[in-house]
Amino acid sequence: MDPVISIRPLLAVAVPGLAALAILLLNNREKLRDAVSPLAAIVLFAIVASMAPTVLSGGTVDLRLFEILPGIDFAFRADALGMVFATVSSLLWIVAAIYSIGYMRHLNEHAQTRFFACFATSLAAAVGGAFAANLFTLVIFYEALSLVTYPLVYHHEDEEGWTGSRKYLVYLMGASKSVLLAALALTYSIAGSLDFRQGGLLAGVNASAPLLTVVYFCYLFGFAKAAVMPIHAWLPAAMVAPTPVSALLHAVAVVKMGVFCLLRVVFHVFGVKLVGELGLGIATAYLLSFTILMASVYALTRDDLKARLAYSTVSQLSYIVLGAVLLSPVAMVGGIIHIAAHAFSKITLFFCAGSIYCASGKRNISDMAGIGRRLPWTMGAFFVASLSMIGVPPTAGFVSKWYLTLGSVEAGQIAFLVVLLASSILNAAYFLPVSYAAFFGTEAQESPPTVREIPMVTIPLVATAILSVLMGIFPGYFLTLADGVVR
């Protein structure tokens, strides 16, 4: 099918960018300022959805803006893989925008204009990366995302905030300015282009196996947002940010940009065949397995709820890349749809952590005994999202983990099937006790009697919990897109 030439990918980037500008201009008109993000999110989602029929039928929506160098264009392309990321980002921005207003108002947070402007700009960068037609455009938006989320991480402007944000920026920018830049230069030198290609840009090039292996691992560690150990410490450090930012970082934009970039490398830079020929798939899978298990063990030891969720994110991100590098079609589908499954579930969990903090001021799991009786909607949503993270039907997590486990068997890699099962057991070990204590634990006597649900915070988290179940029952949209990538 010939590509459809359209301005819509550019509009998808422009809408949140213009929203950020409007937020800055409406600094002194709070109600109008706060209305910008939800309205822009709805418009963005409508633009992304308008491209879905073309992409679902096997086509692409393209827009080439200008040439930088021969073989390097600033260009957009909405394809199947990009639509997975863009759909998740644009849909969840709607609920995140509403949640953020409720959270920031309830806690009377300072610098709200800066917060909402950076929040919107980060969505522009995420969608720009999703629709990037080549490595050059992708890396531009990847770097932009690091810069615009930095003020969100140091939002509280205290010592803890500055320390966490400094580590955040050093890890992400340090990796991209060193090994990622080297990977780009080597790729352009070898292939003479940075365009994504079906079957792989580097497939069939005249280059030695050791050189291609070096390039591959430069990408693996250069895209540090994927949080593959040992390039993961920035992610728990970023927990100093307000909870809506944590939800954005750990469920939607930042970490998903990292794994999305690695999927681009596997599918459209190297190609599945070349990754297999070089023996890189299994080597990467062992490294990812270590990350999956060790991050889960770290999560078990954390009493701070957001810290536990952060290490859970480190673990779950590696599921996505593991599915790709197993090089089995079924596993690849599982990895791709886990982008959505994890996003719907993890944003719910972070929303719940924020709801608990807004209502009670509590951060530590050990202080949350009995809180489920005061916050039944919040902890009910937390329980549903936890089941999805574990992989219990009929939730979204079950669908993606089912494909991943079947794919590991299809690839003849039983060791990774064991890793996936062990990880699910660890998921249950660090998630279920939270819900059990919240509903059946004995509440501390000194607990404030005014703890109650906050509607503008609670409604979005219930909505995302419902999305986790709906995807588990009706996964067809994301499965069709994933099949389009793998074909």
pLDDT at 478 over 90: yes
Structure tokens given for 193: 């282009």
H or E segment at 297?
A: helix 280-300
Considering only the C-alpha atoms of the chain, give the largest distance between any 2 of them, rounded to a whole number of Å.
71
Structure tokens given for 236: 């728990």
pLDDT at 162 over 60: yes
Q: What angle do CA 231, 330, 483 make, to 5 degrees?
A: 95
> What digits encode the pLDDT tens for the residues 394-422?
999 999 999 999 999 998 889 999 999 99
In the predicted model, what is the mean pLDDT of residues 158-178? Answer: 72
Half-sphere exposure for 115 (CA within 13 Å, toward CB): 27
- Exposure string (b/e) for 35-46, b if CB count within 10 Å is 16 or more? bbbbebbebbbe
pLDDT at 103 over 60: yes
How far is residue 366's CA from residue 364's CA, in Å, rounded to a whole number?
5
User: Percent of the chain scored above 70 by pLDDT?
Assistant: 97
Q: Would you state the pLDDT for residue 444?
A: 66
Q: Would you state the pLDDT for residue 451?
A: 76
- Left if phi > 0, otherwise alpha if psi is -120 to 50, otherwise beta: which for 4? beta
Helix, strand, coil percent values for the chain (each to nearest 5): 75, 5, 20
Residue that is written with structure tokens 């990812």 in the block: 288
> Within 10 A of 165 (CB to CB), how many other CB atoms are there?
24
> Within 10 A of 217 (CB to CB), how many other CB atoms are there?
15
Estimate to the nearest angstrom the gap between the alpha carbon of 151 and the chain centroid.
19
How far is residue 266's CA from residue 219's CA, in Å, rounded to a whole number?
10
How far is residue 176's CA from residue 400's CA, in Å, rounded to a whole number?
30
Cis peptide before 230 (omega within 30 of 0): yes
Please state whether beta strands 61-69 and 72-78 pair in parallel, antiparallel, or not at all (unpaired).
Answer: antiparallel
Q: What angle do CA 210, 212, 213 make, to 5 degrees?
A: 60
Structure tokens given for 2: 């010939």
> What digits encode the pLDDT tens for the residues 129-149?
999 999 999 999 998 888 888
Cβ atoms 97, 16 nearer than 8 A: no
> What digits encode the pLDDT tens for the residues 32-66?
888 999 999 999 999 999 999 999 999 999 999 98
Q: Would you state the pLDDT for residue 172?
A: 73
> What digits encode the pLDDT tens for the residues 417-432?
999 999 999 999 999 9
Task: Provide the mean pLDDT of the chain.
Answer: 89
Q: Domain boundaries in the chain?
A: 279-486
Cβ atoms 311, 296 nearer than 8 A: yes
